[in-house]
Amino acid sequence: MYSFTNDYSEGAHENILKALLESNLIQSAGYGLDEHSEKAKVILKNVLKNEEIDIHFIPGGTQVNLICISSFLRQHEAAIAANTGHIAVNETGSIEACGHKVITANSNDGKLNKEMIEKILKTHSVEHMVKPKLVYISNSTEIGTIYKKQELVDLYECCKLNNLILFIDGARMGSAITSKENDLKLSDLVNLCDAFYIGGTKNGALFGEALVICNDKLKEDFRYNMKQKGALLAKGRLLGIQFEQLFKDNLFFDLATHANEMADMIQDELVNLGYKLLIKSPTNQLFPILPNESITKLREKYAFGTWEEYDENNTAIRLVTSWATDKEKVMELIEDLRSL
């Protein structure tokens, strides 16, 4: 059984494991104040071409979202997200548990635009309702789409005009940036939002995300919030070492490129075979619509997710490739699709 269920089924790239082993018995400072974390921050600041940003390493994506939104907002303020947004669907109400409502906008492609934001602002305009303050987007989105540069420019201008914070979930940022359809550089993001993070968990790390805070107003006391929410690791060097390796010799981008290439091979073949797609994805998540009988046969050899029922005879499934996806297994899947 080979899994196309997610992009974190495998452990970590061998360079990371080697670095962790080599540093294992070397003593270092705790809570992210070690030399590896400091070096990783310097590397990232060089990649992002900005010395003024704050960088924090946090174990997981849900923690980043929870800590950022609860830190950036006052108690009566709310976050805006697409109806497919991770904070609205797959985080067990963590944002609401902190007292912040998530206001959703219906989106056909997983993305938000300024018209959606302005519509919500008009609806939530008095003190009897929560006050929208933060716009949450994912890149790539939960359904594999990406934001083009002009889309982010327009969205950020809308946020600044309306005194809103723009926060980007980058759990799959690597896949977005290395997509063939992308026109953004990672360094562009520093000037196109108030905060974003670079996902390691889904791109070759054992675990960990690198949060980048661009807006000076959001930086104060952030480590206090990390500690309060259980994200200030005593052995913080484990995160620093991983990002030190990921951004050494282009590894982060190479791993993401591999995931996208494997997905492109599968999606191209699905289209060639005449299968419909729920949405055409330029990244490592695919959403083909297959006959239920074919899905049953595929499950004999492969693990993958069910996304939604398309009609009584067909279902949209979710296939995800990773930094470690075996090309031979991709070719085998393609052959099995051809034989159905």
* Surface-to-core class of residue 195, CB atoms within 10 Å of its CB (0-12 exposed, 13-18 middle, 19+ buried): buried
Mean pLDDT value of segment 188-212: 98
- Token pair belonging to 126: 């008095």
Distance between CA atoms of residues 327 and 324, nearest Å:
9
Q: What is the pLDDT of residue 59?
A: 98
Q: What is the pLDDT of residue 320?
A: 98
pLDDT tens for 143-171 read: 999 999 999 999 999 999 999 999 999 99
Domain ranges of the chain: 2-7+251-339, 14-246
> Does the CA dihedral 219-221-224-225 come out positive or negative?
negative
Residue 111: pLDDT band with limits 50, 70, 90: very high
Alpha-helix runs per DSSP H in the chain = 14-22, 35-48, 61-72, 86-89, 94-97, 114-123, 149-161, 173-177, 222-228, 237-246, 251-272, 292-298, 327-339
Residue 104: pLDDT band with limits 50, 70, 90: very high
For the chain, the C-alpha Rg in angstroms (whole number) is 20
Q: What is the pLDDT of residue 24?
A: 97
Q: If one looks up domain 14-246 in CATH, what number appears?
A: 3.40.640.10
pLDDT tens for 241-261 read: 999 999 999 999 999 999 999
Q: What is the pLDDT of residue 95?
A: 97
Q: What is the pLDDT of residue 299?
A: 98
Residue with tokens 């067990």: 92
Cis amide linkage into residue 140, ω under 30° from 0: yes
Provide the 8-state DSSP code for 279. Answer: S
Residue 149 sits at φ, ψ, to 5 deg, of -60, -45
Helices 251-272 and 327-339, axial angle in degrees (round to 10): 10
DSSP 227-258: HHTT---TTTHHHHHHHHHHTSTTHHHHHHHH
Q: What is the pLDDT of residue 205?
A: 98
Q: What is the pLDDT of residue 258?
A: 98
User: For the whole prediction, is pTM greater than 0.95?
Assistant: yes
Cβ(159)–Cβ(169) below 8 Å: no
Chain centroid offset of residue 223 CA: 22
Residue 107: pLDDT band with limits 50, 70, 90: very high
Identify the bridge partners of residue 304 per DSSP, sorted by sequence position. none
Q: What is the pLDDT of residue 238?
A: 98
Residue 265: pLDDT band with limits 50, 70, 90: very high
* Surface-to-core class of residue 8, CB atoms within 10 Å of its CB (0-12 exposed, 13-18 middle, 19+ buried): buried
Q: What is the pLDDT of residue 221?
A: 97
Residue 272: pLDDT band with limits 50, 70, 90: very high
Q: What is the pLDDT of residue 220?
A: 97
* Surface-to-core class of residue 153, CB atoms within 10 Å of its CB (0-12 exposed, 13-18 middle, 19+ buried): middle
Query: Checking DSSP bridges between strand 314-320 and strand 285-286, what pairing results, if any?
Result: antiparallel
Cβ(84)–Cβ(107) below 8 Å: yes
- Token pair belonging to 278: 């729920």
Helices 35-48 and 237-246, axial angle in degrees (round to 10): 40
Average pLDDT of the chain to the nearest whole number: 97
- Token pair belonging to 29: 């400072």
CATH C-level class of 2-7+251-339: alpha beta
Q: What is the pLDDT of residue 139?
A: 98
Residue (of 178, 248, 172, 243) closest to 203 by Cα position: 172
